[in-house]
Amino acid sequence: MWNREEAQKNQSPNDVSKANAGIQPVQPAPIPSSSSARAVASMGASLVIKGELTGAEDLVIDGRVEGKVSLPGHLLTIGPQAKVHAEVIAKAVIIQGSVTGNVTASDRFEIRGGGSMTGDLTSPKVIMAEGSEFRGRVDMKRVNESKADKESKKEISQPVAV
């Protein structure tokens, strides 16, 4: 059998440089500018917040929150060790931990395996993984429909003369 280590020992430095002649060094990937990257805040596992939490960026909660969490237009992720007892309002909500309270997600709601929620849910898109727990009502209507959206739906549903 061929022994790679012995073959490398027996090679002259000239042979090695010839073998590596076609290899180009890898250039690091460019770092995205701050305008294209979304800001994400993180709340550590040892933190406890009582009151109202509002923000204009994505948030990952790993600690405890009691009160209200409002992130309209942004993603809220409830980490696996998090315990949230609050009303939650966000564009998208991902639950891996425990949430007690009503959740309103204007775009989508996802509860992953091991996650649990007790409360009422309002979201147009709902994903519930196997192994998740949910107790409450689900309302899958579109949240905060604009007047233009409502008018376009009326136009579509109206009979048209041919």
2-15 tens-digit pLDDT: 555 555 555 555 55
Contacts 24+ apart (CB under 8 A), 29-38: none
130-158 tens-digit pLDDT: 999 999 999 998 766 544 445 544 444 55
Query: Could you give the CA distance from residue 117 to residue 159 in angstroms, rounded to a whole number?
Result: 42
Q: Which of 53, 23, 59, 21 is nearest to 40 (CA)?
A: 59
3-class SS at 22? Answer: coil
29-59 tens-digit pLDDT: 443 433 346 778 899 999 999 999 999 999 9
Query: Could you give the CA distance from residue 5 to residue 44 in angstroms, rounded to a whole number?
Result: 48
**pTM of the complete model:** 0.66
